[in-house]
Amino acid sequence: MMLDSRLKILIVEPDIGLHHLCRLFLRKMLFDKKHLVIYDAYTPHQALAQLENIKDFALIISSSKYKRKDDGLFLLAKIRKDPLISATRILYHIKEGGAQPSFDAIKKLNINCFREIKELTQYNFFNEIYTALGDYRYIIQANKSKGLA
């Protein structure tokens, strides 16, 4: 999975401006000397189509900013049902005043980090990404040592 010299990140967000901001922030970032490759999806259905073709995303950055309030969690539930992408880490951002996922949903969907978008500083965003990529690395290494990767 992590044999490539690049780590793949999928941004699932209806706001094109946030895609541009993420790309600006991530464009020169390296993790373990690996470049980050950014993929875009603007709806949960586009994200699922991407995930059908690419199973080795290290990270998915998603939000709750969809027409139907449950679309974001619907996407995460679909992702977590696929054992081929279980190592993928998820950052989930909720719009200001949006409903936070329940503790049960955080555990069940294995959401690595969630916060309101208004709380998202450059430092927080970097910390979230770096921590999630580190978790992904350790999961991949553990799977390899168990003969699962």
pLDDT by residue (tens digit) across 38-61?
999 998 889 999 999 998 999 998
Look at residue 71 and tell me if it is in a domain.
yes
CA distances from 57 to 6, 15, 22, 43 (A): 10, 21, 16, 17
The letter for the amino acid at 11 is I
* pLDDT of 1 higher than 50: no
**C-alpha to C-alpha distance for 147 and 149, rounded to whole angstroms:** 6
* CA–CA separation, 126 and 26 (whole Å): 9
Partners of 31 in the β-ladder: 34
The pLDDT, as a whole number, for residue 4 is 63
- Whether residue 107 lies inside any domain: the answer is yes
Average pLDDT of 25-50?
90
Q: For tokens 């941004």, name the residue.
A: 11
Res 69 pLDDT > 60: no
> Domain containing 27: what range?
6-145
Q: Could you tell me if residue 117 is inside a domain?
A: yes
State the total domains in the chain. Answer: 1
Instruction: Give domain status of residue 105, yes or no.
Output: yes
DSSP state of 75: H
- Residue 19: what pLDDT? 85
> Binning pLDDT at 50, 70 and 90, where does residue 142 land?
very high
pLDDT of residue 96: 63
Q: Quick check: 136 pLDDT over 90?
A: yes
Q: Who wins on pLDDT, 147 or 63?
A: 147
In a domain, 1, yes or no: no
Could you report the per-residue pLDDT of 77-131, keeping only the tens digit for each? 888 888 788 889 988 877 666 566 677 777 777 777 777 777 778 888 888 899 9
- The pLDDT value recorded for residue 45 is 87
Note the pLDDT of residue 2.
45
Higher pLDDT, 35 or 114: 35
CATH assignment at residue 41: 3.40.50.2300
